[in-house]
Amino acid sequence: MTTIQRRRVVITGMGTVNPCGTTVAETWDNLLAGKSGIGLITKFDTTDFSCKIAGQIKGFQPDLYIDKKDQKKMDLFIQYAMAASHDAMEDSGLAAMALSKAERELFGIAIGSGIGGLSTIFEESNGYRGPRRTSPFFIPSLIINLAGGFVSIKYGLQGPSSAVATACATGTHAIGDAARQIMFGYADRMIAGGSDSVINPLGVGGFAAMRALSTRNDAPTEASRPFDKGRDGFVMSEGAGIVVLEEYELAKARGAKIYAEISGYGMSSDAHHITSPSEDGDGPMRVMNAAIKDAGIAPEQIGYVNAHGTSTPAGDRIECSALKRVFGDYARKLKVSSTKSMTGHLLGAAGGLETIVCALVGHTGKIPPTINVVNQDPDCDLDVTANVAGTFDGEYTLNNNFGFGGTNGCLVLRKL
């Protein structure tokens, strides 16, 4: 049997728009300061809604990234993906390079979304005036693969193109899948991540009907409280998290800035329930073990975990249990935090943003806190970096994301 030599894959560019910032720098500063991006919903009248809070993006200026005429063709989730991809490409230095046709044919896209253009669907159906009045841009503005489609058209990228849709694991799966395209020679470079925007009556109403959302409406900035005994559900947010991935030798040869290496990637399925994780945490345990094995390291070499940590009563407890099963006694020494305590839950974009966080933890040696930990749940008795930023001096970080349907994703990043 022929042995396939894996190529190394690194992150050379990053971009995000989210409730804590419209740039990576602004986001990172706010996360380290423990500043929440959660507030009262202003996009629609929430009088009849049990949940009145969300993580909305503030100060987003689409004109900086997209022509006005094209904005009408794009749901917000596409606009967010375009903005974050623009910043990631600029950050990588590739936007300024004149890429040859051969280079563009090996430059691909893997941008996913958990739900896609729900806002466009809601608006079009709410004001439906018959088939003759339906916009020809209705379908292109809402389907999930058009986020990557618009980005690939902008930069003329003709390599592998895919659009992952695995609920809240989307961003992590998209980045992991993109990394494998490069590892095994199908591409040299990839733009990868996730984007979502479903803060509308249909989206909020749907999640609220499942009793998944926090209803701490009188204190929005305190509503997302992973690992705290008083947590009552997640806070829905919107945004995008995008990275540029490159083959290591190619990036090094052009003198690119390197944030981190994608060392390991794991996937698993709970095969248990459409929304609830299995009580024994078997799926999360197996996906972490898979990613660590793929990285070729021991669990004790992981120094920091960005937990899925959504602030749901069952989810946080089960994830902590899985961490203890994976890391054993070392779990007590492991640094953990959930940045969703500040950003809220970006759904399909969460994995993209949180991969950026893990890369920056290794790159800067700083760990964002888990805020709002007032009365830590005894079932979540790990070092969750409560309320104050910490420090990191290890080599490897790990990012967890788990989605409805029992789909799980995990990435291991190495500091370079």
Q: Which domains does the chain have, with CATH numbers?
A: 9-253 (3.40.47.10), 265-414 (3.40.47.10)
- Helices 24-32 and 350-364: crossing angle in degrees, nearest 10, is 70
pLDDT at 3: 63
In the predicted model, residues of the chain with pLDDT beneath 50 are none
Distances in Å between the Cα of 287 and the Cα atoms of 97, 284, 343, 384 are 37, 5, 24, 20
pLDDT at 382: 98
Which neighbouring-strand residues pair with 366?
391
Q: Which pLDDT tens digit goes with each residue over 337-346?
A: 999 999 999 9
Owner of token pair 């959660």: 38
**Contact residues for 121 (Cβ-Cβ < 8 A; gap 6+):** 142, 202
pLDDT at 143: 96
Q: Which residues of 187-202 are buried (b: 16+ CB within 10 A; e: fewer)?
A: bbbbbbbbbbbbbbbb
Active site residues: 168, 308, 345
Of 347, 362, 320, which is closest to residue 401 (Cα–Cα)? 347
Residue 101, judged by CB atoms within 10 A of its CB (0-12, 13-18, 19+), counts as exposed
Residue 213, judged by CB atoms within 10 A of its CB (0-12, 13-18, 19+), counts as buried
pLDDT at 126: 86
**Contact residues for 268 (Cβ-Cβ < 8 A; gap 6+):** 283, 284, 286, 287, 290, 408
pLDDT at 134: 87
CA dihedral for 67, 71, 74, 80, sign (positive or negative): positive
Which neighbouring-strand residues pair with 302?
396
Q: Which residues of 336-365 are buried (b: 16+ CB within 10 A; e: fewer)?
A: bbbbbbbbbbbbbbbbbbbbbbbbbbbbee
DSSP state of 143: S
DSSP state of 168: G
pLDDT at 130: 86
CA–CA gap between residue 81 and residue 78 (Å, rounded): 5
Total residues found in the chain within this entry: 416
Q: Which amino acid is at 171?
A: G
